[in-house]
Amino acid sequence: MTKRTPLIAGNWKMNKGTTAEATVLITEVRDKAANVSGVEIAVCPPFTVLHALKSVLGDNSPIALGAQDVYWKSAGAYTGQVSAEMLSDAGVSFVLIGHSERRGRFGVAEPDFTEGVLKYFGETDASVNRKTVAALASDLKPIVCVGETLNERENGDTDGVIRAQVEGALDGIFTAQIAQIVFAYEPVWAIGTGKTCSSDEADRVCGIIRATVSDLYDAETGGAVRILYGGSMKPDNASELLVQPNIDGGLIGGASLKASDFVSIAVAAASLPS
């Protein structure tokens, strides 16, 4: 089987966004992870602290920086947007695309700001695809997030939703580019809720992502693509999830805000039997 290097990526979301607090957290992560090998580590802080964290980490740091979103145009009248070239220039190497907090499942003609409704940013499979193409063109590694809502799971639609999201994201992308892409399976009902998907089920759905990539390209490409699990991963459940054959790491929200928890998860990934 293809050997895949595990990746542990922290999604800080809209937290630790002042230079002072972001510097404290990245310094702790850097120091605690200094002797951890065999795993790639990335942190995705708010845009505004990327430059500051790049200067804390320096060039050639084993800790990579990621952004939480990207716009597909390179420049122009797009108020508030950040392009892939700008991220690359800021020293970013990964970018989250299509996180469930940005996807709008039901259209956004009338944005709904109710907590938890998931309609406010209106990301679609088509915009995820454009962003993925743009990120690849600037040598960024997209972490494409896919996942079903509780309603979709209860209706038995999980597998179809996941396949459609993977196919939509990869539209027009060539075989040789797939090695740069990471998928993250994040069941929406398990994000920030403390509810984890069972390790067997997480592995099964990650297997569907892999099979979809194999069907679209070939078995070698599907076998090589990295797939993370995300959704309330913590030090006490990380090993059980990370040991699964189709899971190659984690996308960590809440637990990435505490350096000791985040690095413990990275250590769990580094300690997997080879």
Report the interface residues with ligand PEP, using CB under 6 A: 11, 186, 191-192, 230-233, 251-255
Q: Which is nearer to ligand PEP, 146 or 221 (CB)?
A: 146
Q: Which is nearer to ligand PEP, 44 or 49 (CB)?
A: 44
Q: How far is the C-alpha of 227 from the C-alpha of 222, rounded, in Å?
A: 10
Q: Which of 215, 212, 209, 157 is nearest to 184 (CA)?
A: 209
**Least distance CB 128 / ligand PEP (angstroms):** 15
**Least distance CB 41 / ligand PEP (angstroms):** 15
Q: Which of 197, 106, 102, 215 is nearest to 158 (CA)?
A: 197
**Least distance CB 107 / ligand PEP (angstroms):** 23
Give me the half-sphere count of Cα atoms (radius 13 Å) on the Cβ side of residue 66.
26
Give me the half-sphere count of Cα atoms (radius 13 Å) on the Cβ side of residue 274.
6
Q: Which amino acid is at 155?
A: N
Could you give the residue ranges of the DSSP H alpha helices within 141-246? 150-154, 158-169, 199-216, 219-224, 235-242
Q: How far is the C-alpha of 197 from the C-alpha of 117, rounded, in Å?
A: 20
Q: Which is nearer to ligand PEP, 221 or 251 (CB)?
A: 251
Q: Which amino acid is at 249?
A: G
What's the gap between Cα 64 and its chain centre?
13
Q: Which is nearer to ligand PEP, 32 or 258 (CB)?
A: 258
- Give all strands (DSSP E) within the chain, no chain letters: 7-11, 40-44, 63-67, 94-97, 141-146, 182-185, 226-230, 249-252
**Least distance CB 21 / ligand PEP (angstroms):** 18
Using CB atoms, what's the residue nearest to ligand PEP?
253
Query: Helix 158-169 crosses helix 125-137 at what angle (to 10 degrees)?
Result: 40
CA 127 → CA 46, 88, 177, 191, 231, distances in Å? 20, 20, 18, 22, 23
Q: Which is nearer to ligand PEP, 135 or 228 (CB)?
A: 228
Residues classed as catalytic: 99, 186
**Least distance CB 232 / ligand PEP (angstroms):** 4
Q: Which is nearer to ligand PEP, 197 or 221 (CB)?
A: 197
**Least distance CB 10 / ligand PEP (angstroms):** 9
